[in-house]
């Protein structure tokens, strides 16, 4: 069993999709990452911040899944980070309606002593200075530091983002962001440019079109499972990252072959996440369902071809 | 060796991409289909029409590859079908600048006697009445009738398209067109609706995002190979169809497993087609290159995962 340190938002989300809308429900990158990673044999801890308005029931959901929340700061009198968004009809584009940073505005992450030697560190989408602060608090170099980010930080904190990217092993990013970060349209060329910034591995997330893993000259592709119903894409990328990081922390194997498996596990868990609003599907998820869907992934992608 | 009957345009294309532009060069759905299929052990024939302006050199390119052009009508004094198009910067959208039907306007396809018992019939993108006329001339039911079409025919010849779709085994169509045809956003649901129209198999082409094969409850996915340079997407869909149909005609196996291989062969050949303008890359393609890239496809997609 490995240690996984997770940094990211714990939040309230309000979501509107063509299929319905929610009031404030449990959300945040670290939440989705933690729930996905808890499917593996890991000791994980979340470094984050919430306000006094954050319900005990949500904290219990995390501790019930063996997630250490001793470094989840609860700010007295503070309000939890709130995001409200609306998806268009095709679910591929969304509009942010409200972003209330609240307690996140003055967040100083403190890594718990027990996790300063974590094998895997998953830096969820956040201000790059917070991500860097976490790296600086570590006692030893983790086996893998994985960083997720988005276009907002490229637009507003370019230098800080470049600085933290120097220190990581794996960058996870979506296709449009990879193009923005590198000014390369070809994802193959984009990955090569990102190697030059620091990371040895690049994961490019393409949403319903799957995910690509790049390492040196090697490329691996995992599709998204074609689904009859996609209900709410919120948290799918974080669930992917959590499955990826959780699998890597649980296994003591740094080979490319094992990274491929981590991508499949991440894609598999993300395929559940989108089936209901927010964290709902992840909270009801059973081991047998995960296993059955891994079988579906194999059927979807595996073939045998003669190479004369 | 099986017989493959190909119906579709043989044309002049003029293409503009962000990387350059061409004058009138060899194009047309049947041309790309025929060149791709000629990589397999098949007897193929093209049913199409050109004008007197069509160069002997282009006819020779086809006969050199053992493609029967006895049913490629040459209209005295006529002009060959001409298409001019321009791709946007991301190569995912294109604008049609000129469509001169010329001799195609009055085309009456005549299936050669030798191919009235073809094992596989590939109906390239054309007016659905022409596609239906070809089916009606066959002496026996082929093992597979494959039909490719596009949104233009849905917009303008809906009833004729529905009629021909009743008679086919495999529909190949792109993702947006599948949605337009079925009014379903989910491709899984779209495929199920298409089964109800006649075809037992549906291939949904997603361009740079790969292709999906549907049959009953089974789904198989083949990615597009991530490339450093995509030069010209013209003909990629037809090359895919030609590889798919050519492989099926060359093999005497109607299993889903074999259909999966056909999808991989189609995707593999399409990955070459986009590397140069028009048919240029397909004309220089060597067996060793094809084999090497099949290896890359395996590496890109194959994984081994423990299912406890």
One digit per residue, the tens of pLDDT, for chain B of length 308 reads 799 999 999 999 999 998 899 999 999 999 999 999 999 999 999 999 999 999 999 999 999 999 999 999 999 999 999 999 999 877 778 899 999 999 999 999 999 999 999 999 999 999 999 999 999 999 999 999 999 999 999 999 999 999 999 999 999 999 999 999 999 999 999 999 999 999 999 999 999 999 999 999 999 999 999 999 889 999 999 999 999 999 999 998 989 999 999 999 999 999 999 999 999 999 999 999 999 999 999 999 999 987 75
Distance from CA of A84 to the nearest CA of B (A): 24
Angle between helices A256-273 and A236-250 (to 10 degrees): 140
Placement of tokens 């600048």 in the chain: B97
Per-residue pLDDT of B164-210, as tens digits, reads 999 999 999 999 999 999 999 999 999 999 999 999 999 999 999 99
Q: What is the pLDDT of residue B277?
A: 95
> Which member of A226, A260, A298 has the closest CB to residue B212?
A226
Structure tokens that stand for A292 in this block: 């059955």
Main-chain dihedrals φ then ψ at residue A82, nearest 5 degrees? -130, 130
Burial class (CB in 10 A: 0-12, 13-18, 19+), B64: exposed
Give one DSSP letter per residue of chain B, joined into a string. Answer: -EEEEEE---EEEEEEETTEE-SSEEE-HHHHHHHHHTTSSEEEEEEEEEETTS-HHHHHHHHHTTEE-TTEEEETT----EEEEEE-TTSS-EEEEEEE-GGGGG------GGGTT-SEEEE-SS-HHHHHHHHHT-SS--SEEEEE--HHHHHH-HHHHHHHHTT-SEEEEEHHHHHHHH--SSHHHHHHHHHHHS-SEEEEE-GGG-EEEEETTEEEEEPPPP-S-----TTHHHHHHHHHHHHHHHS---SHHHHHHHHHHHHHHHHHHTTSSTTHHHHT--HHHHHHHHHHHHHHH-------
Distance from CA of A301 to the nearest CA of B (A): 6
Q: What is the pLDDT of residue B92?
A: 77
Per-residue pLDDT of A94-107, as tens digits, reads 899 999 999 999 99
Task: Name the nearest CA neighbour of A206 among B207, B177, B305, B264.
Answer: B207
Distance from CA of B86 to the nearest CA of A (A): 18
What does CATH list as the number for B2-301?
3.40.1190.20
Per-residue pLDDT of A240-288, as tens digits, reads 999 999 999 999 898 999 999 999 999 999 999 999 999 999 999 999 9
Say what the alpha-carbon torsion angle A273, A279, A281, A285 is, to the nearest 10 degrees: 100
Placement of tokens 């085309």 in the chain: B107
Do B301 and A89 count as a contact with CB atoms less than 8 A apart? no
Superfamily of segment(s) A2-21+34-301: Ribokinase (3.40.1190.20)
Q: How far, in Å, CA of A146 to CA of A278, rounded?
A: 23
* B188 contacts in chain A (CB < 8 Å): 226-228
Angle between helices B128-136 and B158-165 (to 10 degrees): 30
Confidence (pTM): 0.95
**With 80 as the cut, is the pLDDT of residue A306 above it?**
no
Q: How far, in Å, CA of A4 to CA of B160, rounded?
A: 59
A vs B, Cβ pairs < 8 A, gives 101
Q: What is the pLDDT of residue A93?
A: 83
**Mean pLDDT, range A38-48, rounded to an integer:** 98
**Mean pLDDT, rounded, of chain A:** 96
- The distance of Cα A31 from the centroid of its chain, to the nearest Å, equals 9
Q: B interface mutation test: which of A263, A301, A306, A308 has the most B CBs within 10 A? A: A301
């Amino acid at each position: 069993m490995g240690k996984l340190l997770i940094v990211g938002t714990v939040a309230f989300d309000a979501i509107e999709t063509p299929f319905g809308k929610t009031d404030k429900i449990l959300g945040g990158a670290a939440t989705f990452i933690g729930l996905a990673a808890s499917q593996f044999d890991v000791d994980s801890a979340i470094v984050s911040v919430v306000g006094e308005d954050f319900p005990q029931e949500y904290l219990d959901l995390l501790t019930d899944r063996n997630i250490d929340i001793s470094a989840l700061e609860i700010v007295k009198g503070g309000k939890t980070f709130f995001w409200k968004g609306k998806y268009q009809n095709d679910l591929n584009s969304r509009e942010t309606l409200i972003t209330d940073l609240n307690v996140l505005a003055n967040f100083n992450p403190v890594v718990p002593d027990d996790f300063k030697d974590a094998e895997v560190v998953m830096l969820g989408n956040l201000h790059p200075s917070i991500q860097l602060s976490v790296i600086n608090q570590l006692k030893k170099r983790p086996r893998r530091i994985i960083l997720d980010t988005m276009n907002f930080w490229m637009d507003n904190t370019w230098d800080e983002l470049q600085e933290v990217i120097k220190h990581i092993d794996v960058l996870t990013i979506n296709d449009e962001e990879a193009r923005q970060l590198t000014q390369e349209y070809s994802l193959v060329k984009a990955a090569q440019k990102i190697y030059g910034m620091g990371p040895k591995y690049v994961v490019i997330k393409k949403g319903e079109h799957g995910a690509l893993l790049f390492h040196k000259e090697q490329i691996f592709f995992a599709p998204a499972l074609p689904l009859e119903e996609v209900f709410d894409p919120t948290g799918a990328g974080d669930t992917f990252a959590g499955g990826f990081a959780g699998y890597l922390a649980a296994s003591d194997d740094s080979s490319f072959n094992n990274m491929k498996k981590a991508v499949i596990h991440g894609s598999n868990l993300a395929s559940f996440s989108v089936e209901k609003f927010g964290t709902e599907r992840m909270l009801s998820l059973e081991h047998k369902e995960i296993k059955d869907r891994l079988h579906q992934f194999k059927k979807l992608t595996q073939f045998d071809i003669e190479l004369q």
